[in-house]
Amino acid sequence: MTETWLTQEAYDRRKAELELLTGEGRTEIAKKIEAAREEGDLKENGGYHAAKEEQGKIEARIRVLTELLRHAKVGTPAAEGVISSGTVVTARVQGDEEVFLLGSREIVDETDPDELDVYSEASPLGEAILGLKAGDTATYIAPNGREITVQIDKVEPYRA
């Protein structure tokens, strides 16, 4: 996994989520599975199968969070005014103004009503604009094969 830039707030939020899932989350799902087992025949026990599916989702999220936190870089983006992971970019994409965060969805607080669109640095757009500054222009090939032009208007660090 590549390094993921996170604000301190995002890191703390994801660490708390991991602690909740590995502690209380695992305990609660184990209780649900045990209660469903006690109901009898597991082949036709919908509650058991639902609890096992929920357990699978919790364990998958635990793996994602563990890797994310293991490879997290906490702080601020590298250089002021230069597009890097953790910067909010205002750009004209094919003439339409867009404001988005370049980085990981894990940075954004999903309870924020003004949640930004997030593009990965590994996306075609992300790769095309990494390292650019306000006033720069780039082009990239979209998944549909079209060439897209991007004019960078503003670059600022993400603030949660």
Give residues with Cβ within 8 angstroms of 125, minimum separation 6: 93, 119, 140, 148, 150
- 12-54: per-residue pLDDT in tens? 989 999 999 999 999 999 998 888 888 777 777 788 888 899 9
Give the residue among 127, 16, 147, 1 at the shortest CA–CA distance from 71: 1
Q: Is the pLDDT of residue 151 over 60?
A: yes
Alpha-carbon distance 153 to 137, whole Å? Answer: 9
Mean pLDDT value across the chain: 87
Give the residue among 49, 21, 53, 54 at the shortest CA–CA distance from 36: 49
Domain ranges of the chain: 4-74, 87-157
Whole-number Cα distances in Å, 83 to 4, 78, 109, 155: 15, 9, 21, 6
- DSSP-derived secondary structure for 47-91: HHHHHHHHHHHHHHHHHHHHHHHHTEEESS-SSTTB--TTEEEEE
* Topology of domain 4-74, CATH: Helix Hairpins (1.10.287)
Entry pTM: 0.68
Alpha-carbon distance 157 to 73, whole Å? Answer: 14
* Topology of domain 87-157, CATH: Chitinase A; domain 3 (3.10.50)
Domain 4-74 and domain 87-157 have a common topology: no
